[in-house]
Chains A and B, each alone.
Chain A
Amino acid sequence: MSATPGLYLSSAGGYPRIGDSPELQALRRTIAALDRGERSHADLLDVQNDVTRQVIAEQVKAGLDVVTDGLIRWYDPISHLAGKLDNIEIKGLVRFFDTNTYFRQPVFVGAPIKRGNLAAGEYSFARNALGHLPTPQGKAGKLSIKSVLTGPYTLGRFSLSEQSGDGSSEAYASLEARAQAYAEILASEFEPLSQAGAELIQIDEPAAIKYPNDWAIFEASLALLIQARDRITKSGRKLELALYVYFHDCAPLYEKLLALPVDIVGLDFTYSPKLVDIVASAGSPKWLGLGLIDGRNTKLEDPAQIARQIDRMLPKIKDQRAFLGPSSGLEYLPRDRAFAKLELLSKVRAELKGQKRQ
């Protein structure tokens, strides 16, 4: 597989759903009003749609090539997908890695069943929203939107199973069984996503590098997604699979990550001081997502320094093709700073082209 060389600017997933000004707090106000019984779920959907359009527009304005819907509708990275399944109950709050944010823990009470689509509807809306934006100069045919799914291993790792009266949930007592169950369901979502126009699906598996002893379980669950991708590409449609890992040092697993049969591996450089050296020296037989911009800290990086790091790595990456982005989704930042981080991506590219702005 070959592709156009170059550095693409890409979102890594989430985006802050509110800002500090009153007009940017519509979603917060609507959810609070819904909780008080003063607004309906239809009202919430309207506001989620508006905010999704806004955050896509912000990503385009910042100069990105690959955007997402900002995961605006997600309660959290774990319960959003799991909560749509029958026989999975969403329970108490658990801390999400070291973020000091929390997710609601899914509990298997039986065999999970998918009714309707999980992500294709949301993707379709977002793709349509992107299509309705005026195309910025020089971006015709170059803007795309990817779908983001939390991976089956991470979903399984943060779910539990509860003993049910009829014994139907006991089959999910093991992590392996939960990860496989999620993998089967997510794999079945690839076809509707492809039908909705998705050509790039990002699978987030932060738990895979945090718990490397489970690598075989992670790999086995990923295999089902690979098969789903291959079925689509064999039918002549384009579908690339990106695996994104973050919130832990991925350097010790670099070779193993690159050996996985995905198209793109997205790496968080903020936990791995030596990762630039490793990529620059070992190279990559895969396209890489370069999470060089810290998605968890408000401090703005020096674009020239980031450009120098990319200069060292890009020649050693397959097709000299990479996706520069934040180290993780940006929802851990205030909205204004998240936008500034996205703008920084364009500044880095300008540095690389020797066209430093200002």
Chain B
Amino acid sequence: MSRQKLESLGLKLPLFPTTSVGSFPKPDYLAKARAEFNKKRISEKDLHDLERKATAFWIEEQEKLGIDVLVDGEMYRGDMVAYFAERLPGFSISGLVRSYGNRYYHKPIISSEVAWRTPLTVDWWKYAQSLTKKPVKGMLTGGYTIMDWSFNEFYPDRRSAALALAKVVRKEVEALIAAGCKIIQIDEPALSVRPEELPIALEAMDLTTKGQNAYFITHACYGEFDKIYPGMLDLAVDNFDLEMSNSDLDLLELFRRHPFTKDISFGVVDVHSHRTDSGEVVRKRIEQALTILPKEGVWVDPDCGLKTRTVEQAIEKLRACVTAAKSFRNE
């Protein structure tokens, strides 16, 4: 069904299209440059030039690996919510809060009405797309997750905040489509953390994507999917990108009980480990997927973003995805 949508958008993808979830590790020179920039030792332009260099590197690597749907690798982003919050009117940035261990971050605060004034990701998407003939995904974070990962000092409740943000994200979707983007991923990693709020997440995504002419993917991870499945299938996207390997494919059991009705970007490689799963293990995961899911709807990618891995590890994990996917195309 969604394959027809892809074709109507002029996208002819092979069976088992390969992609990645969004982020890639920043090369050492960029990681150092970001630290230097924070200490005001280099200019914004210097940093920007290096971000472009790193983006070009990752586009080239994805091309070499033979990936079908590319990403820009988010070389210019630190965090998937903070990037937007730092640029959208309505947000301020809090003092440091702990994420885990010795890691702290500045959590955004919704302190007044949120608004969209200017595109936030379009120039980066255009740049990345200019470097390849293959489709590059537009990469956004959904209104529900931005709400959940921010403090809210303005809106009366979580629903109002999520819906206001969903409308803002819609503006960015419109800008990406106007620029020529045909596949847009809107990540909602917070989707399953409060199962009782699934209706809010559904409403928010509806506000963002309804009537928009693009193929939409959402990525979700780390959650209690048993509590939101099959209700989550009502999310207004074409493709769910799910972390399958890290949970030993236990979501397949849910899919057995109630058919999975969307396309799926099936995470076949664990991203939390330094080592790459063997080709045999990755192939086995796809085989198991195909016992339940129609092959026309299965995309292949790593479980999650690869930014916490080294450049070499990330490339190896991507290679494992591509090798496995290609081996199934010929069968």
Check if B193 sits within 8 Å of A97, measured CB to CB: yes
* Contact for A100 among B99, B102, B196, CB less than 8 A: B99
A18-B104, A98-B148 are known contacts. Are A337 and B99 too (CB-CB below 8 A)? Answer: no
Residue B98 is within 8 A (CB to CB) of chain A in the complex:
yes
Interface-located stretch among A52-60, A111-119, A327-335: A327-335
A104 vs B98: C-alpha distance in the bound complex, in angstroms?
A: 14
Q: How near does chain A come to B300, taking the closest CB pair, in angstroms?
A: 24
A97 vs B196: C-alpha distance in the bound complex, in angstroms?
A: 13
Residue A138 is within 8 A (CB to CB) of chain B in the complex:
no
Q: What residues of A have a CB within 8 angstroms of the CB of B43 in the complex?
A: none
Interface-located stretch among B19-27, B47-55, B129-137, B149-157: B149-157
Check if B100 sits within 8 Å of A101, measured CB to CB: yes
Residue A41 is within 8 A (CB to CB) of chain B in the complex:
no
Residue A28 is within 8 A (CB to CB) of chain B in the complex:
yes
Closest-by-CB residue of B relative to A102 is B100
Q: How near does chain B come to A60, taking the closest CB pair, in angstroms?
A: 22
The digit string for B259-284, where 1 denotes a CB below 8 A from any CB of A, is 00000000000001000000000000
Residue B222 is within 8 A (CB to CB) of chain A in the complex:
yes
The digit string for A322-358, where 1 denotes a CB below 8 A from any CB of B, is 0000000001111111000000000000000000000
User: Number of contacts between A and B (CB, 8 Å)?
Assistant: 66
* Contact for A95 among B94, B96, B104, B193, CB less than 8 A: B193
Residue B190 is within 8 A (CB to CB) of chain A in the complex:
yes
Residue A38 is within 8 A (CB to CB) of chain B in the complex:
no
Closest-by-CB residue of A relative to B151 is A298
Residue B194 is within 8 A (CB to CB) of chain A in the complex:
yes
Interface residue tally on A, bucketed by range: 20 to 34
* Contact for A98 among B109, B151, B152, B193, CB less than 8 A: B193
A318 vs B152: C-alpha distance in the bound complex, in angstroms?
A: 35
Q: What residues of B have a CB within 8 angstroms of the CB of A249 in the complex?
A: 196
Residue B211 is within 8 A (CB to CB) of chain A in the complex:
no
**In B89-146, which residues have CB < 8 Å from any A CB?**
94-102, 104, 107, 109
Q: How near does chain A come to B206, taking the closest CB pair, in angstroms?
A: 22
- Which of A31, A100, A335 has the most chain B CB atoms closer than 10 A to its own CB? A100
Q: How near does chain B come to A299, taking the closest CB pair, in angstroms?
A: 4
Check if A298 sits within 8 Å of B153, measured CB to CB: yes
Q: Is the interface of A mostly helix, strand, loop or mixed?
A: loop
Q: How near does chain B come to A113, taking the closest CB pair, in angstroms?
A: 26
Q: What residues of B have a CB within 8 angstroms of the CB of A335 in the complex?
A: 95-96
Q: What residues of A have a CB within 8 angstroms of the CB of B102 in the complex?
A: 28, 31-32, 35
Check if B99 sits within 8 Å of A102, measured CB to CB: yes
Q: What residues of B have a CB within 8 angstroms of the CB of A298 in the complex?
A: 94, 109, 151, 153
Residue A184 is within 8 A (CB to CB) of chain B in the complex:
no
The digit string for B153-195, where 1 denotes a CB below 8 A from any CB of A, is 1000000000000000000000000000000000000100110
Check if A297 sits within 8 Å of B100, measured CB to CB: no
A32 vs B104: C-alpha distance in the bound complex, in angstroms?
A: 12
Closest-by-CB residue of A relative to B107 is A334
Q: What residues of A have a CB within 8 angstroms of the CB of B190 in the complex?
A: 98, 100
A298 vs B96: C-alpha distance in the bound complex, in angstroms?
A: 12
A299-B151, A299-B153 are known contacts. Are A20 and B98 too (CB-CB below 8 A)? Answer: no
Closest-by-CB residue of A relative to B273 is A92
A95-B222, A100-B190, A298-B109 are known contacts. Are A336 and B95 too (CB-CB below 8 A)? Answer: yes
Q: How near does chain A come to B134, taking the closest CB pair, in angstroms?
A: 33
Q: How near does chain B come to A71, taking the closest CB pair, in angstroms?
A: 11
Closest-by-CB residue of A relative to B101 is A75
Residue A16 is within 8 A (CB to CB) of chain B in the complex:
yes
**In B6-56, which residues have CB < 8 Å from any A CB?**
none
Which positions in B face A, CB cutoff 8 Å?
A: 94-102, 104, 107, 109, 148-149, 151-153, 190, 193-194, 196, 222-223, 272
Which positions in A face B, CB cutoff 8 Å?
A: 16-20, 28, 31-32, 35, 75-76, 92-95, 97-98, 100-103, 249, 297-299, 331-337
Q: 21 pairs across A/B with beta carbons < 8 Å?
A: A16-B98, A17-B98, A18-B96, A19-B95, A35-B102, A92-B272, A94-B222, A95-B193, A95-B223, A100-B148, A249-B196, A297-B151, A297-B152, A298-B94, A299-B153, A331-B97, A332-B97, A334-B94, A334-B95, A337-B94, A337-B95
